[in-house]
């Protein structure tokens, strides 16, 4: 053998079919006449293409490895034009291959698209989970034709243009020889068959749009942005294709008392000044029901009380977070004369007649209760 096809492609003799294809694509991009029009590159491109034609075909490669001439032209390259080499292999080199080449008729049945709906739920449902009925508009199987797309008593017919192949081939002569190209049949869109009498209900698609109700289960711990996947509840595919999935995206409504941060719940409880000084108990309506909260004597604004395991459920991992109660000590306003007199007497007993300058930290610490509450959220 005067020509070493393996050397032309730059691969070893035990190279796999995929290695040979990759090598050819790389060289085709480099040597194609549209890229390098000079005669020397054209000749080499013909040689590389002939090498690929032989080594990509298992029978021709075996003949070549045994010393034969698979092209039947005494080892030359004139046989390239006579073989009707598929131009799709050259196009693969430039466009990635595979997807642009048609190989026989394609099926009418295709998988349906996934669908997405958004629902709003309240905080208790997000924390504890529950059920919710939703309404969705999706494509469902046509009841009239049972998804076939055919009218009653009719059937599909073989396309007269492509004779059922689903593609039209044409052969053109070029400096490369005979180049064969394939494209989807324009009459049947590549299906190989036509529907002469489509179903009047679905116009031959095999599906119609329908509004339906579904009851979905909401797991504990969902939050805004959580998506629940319901397999097989999306769009029905054309002509009896498989059904896509339905994704339900959660939006949690704001709560008037509690604010959520991950698996934590936060709230603010206002305590009168005298109660904070003397200590008291406060009844708080949590998501689990009423809870009696003990406020120690001398509690200050900004202090935090914690109820373990009373926060939001964890979507993954189980368990629940904590509930954090932020205390806001309220200074009384609108005092009458007697109340003012008593407070002055109290101040005299405490030695608080004079106003003292108190050094406080700058930044979030000095931003009041809600500033500290916001800082607590950002630090967790």
Q: What is the CATH number of the domain that holds 23?
A: 1.10.287.110
Tell me the average pLDDT across 99-119: 78
Residue 122: what pLDDT?
A: 96
Give me the mean pLDDT over the 350-376 stretch: 56
Together in a domain, 222 and 283: no
Please indicate, yes or no, if residue 243 is contained in any of the structural domains.
yes
* Pairwise CA distance, residues 175 & 39, whole Å: 11
- At residue 75, the pLDDT reads 40
Q: Do 125 and 222 sit in the same domain of this protein?
A: yes
Query: In total, how many domains does the chain have?
Result: 3
Helix, strand or coil, per DSSP, at residue 228: strand
Structural domain boundaries enclosing 64: 5-95
> How far is CA 54 from each of CA 33, 47, 69, 79, 206, rounded to the nearest angstrom?
21, 11, 9, 11, 45
Average pLDDT over residues 145-151: 90
Question: Distances from the Cα of 327 to the Cαs of 108, 298, 324, in angstroms?
Answer: 66, 12, 10
User: Is there a domain that residue 9 lies in?
Assistant: yes
* pTM for this entry: 0.61
Distances (CA, A) of 362 to 85, 365, 369, 372: 80, 6, 14, 12
pLDDT: which is higher, 363 or 32? 32
Confidence (pLDDT) at 100: 42
Per-residue pLDDT of 217-235, as tens digits, reads 999 999 999 999 999 999 9
Same domain, 134 and 242: yes
Find out whether 332 and 272 touch, Cβ atoms under 8 Å. Answer: yes
**CATH code for the domain in which residue 283 is found:** 2.60.260.20
Nearest to 53 by CA among 69, 40, 30, 38: 69
pLDDT band at 93 (very low <50, low <70, confident <90, very high): very low
**Residues 170-188: b if buried by 16+ CB within 10 A, e if exposed:** eeeeeebbebeebebbeeb
Which candidate, 380, 246, 269, 370, places its Cα nearest to that of 329?
Answer: 269
> What percent of the chain is modeled with pLDDT above 90?
44
């Amino acid at each position: 053998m005067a020509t070493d096809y393996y050397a032309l492609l730059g691969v070893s003799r035990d190279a796999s079919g995929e290695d040979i294809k990759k090598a050819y694509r790389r060289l085709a991009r480099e040597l194609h006449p549209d890229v390098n029009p000079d005669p020397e590159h054209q000749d080499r491109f013909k040689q590389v293409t002939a090498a690929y034609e032989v080594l990509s075909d298992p029978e021709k490669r075996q003949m070549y490895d045994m010393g034969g001439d698979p092209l039947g032209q005494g080892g030359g390259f004139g046989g390239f034009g006579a073989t009707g080499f598929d131009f799709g292999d050259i196009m693969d080199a430039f466009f990635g291959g595979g997807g642009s080449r048609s190989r026989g008729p394609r099926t009418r049945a295709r998988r349906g698209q996934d669908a997405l709906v958004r629902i709003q739920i309240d905080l208790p449902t997000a924390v504890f989970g529950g059920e919710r009925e939703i309404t969705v508009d999706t494509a469902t199987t046509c009841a009239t034709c049972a998804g076939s797309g055919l009218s009653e008593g009719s059937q599909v017919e073989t396309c007269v243009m492509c004779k059922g192949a689903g593609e039209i081939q044409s052969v053109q002569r070029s400096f490369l020889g005979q180049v064969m190209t394939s494209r989807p049949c324009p009459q049947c869109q590549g299906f190989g068959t036509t529907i002469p009498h489509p179903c009047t209900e679905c116009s031959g698609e095999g599906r119609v749009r329908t509004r339906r109700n579904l009851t979905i289960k909401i797991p504990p711990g969902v939050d805004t942005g959580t998506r629940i996947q319901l397999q097989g509840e999306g769009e029905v595919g054309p002509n009896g294709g498989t059904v896509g999935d339905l994704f339900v995206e959660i939006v949690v409504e704001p709560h008037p008392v509690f604010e959520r941060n991950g698996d934590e719940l936060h709230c603010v409880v206002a305590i009168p000044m005298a109660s904070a000084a003397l200590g008291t108990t406060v009844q708080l309506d949590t998501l689990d029901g009423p809870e009696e909260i003990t406020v120690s004597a001398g509690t200050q604004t900004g202090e935090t009380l914690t109820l373990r395991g009373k926060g939001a459920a964890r979507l993954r991992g189980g368990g629940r977070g904590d509930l954090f109660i932020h205390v806001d000590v309220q200074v009384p306003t609108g005092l009458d004369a007697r109340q003012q007199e008593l407070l002055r007497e109290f101040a005299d007993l405490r030695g608080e007649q004079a106003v003292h300058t108190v050094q406080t930290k700058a930044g979030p610490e000095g931003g009041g209760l809600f500033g500290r509450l916001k800082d607590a959220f950002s630090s967790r």
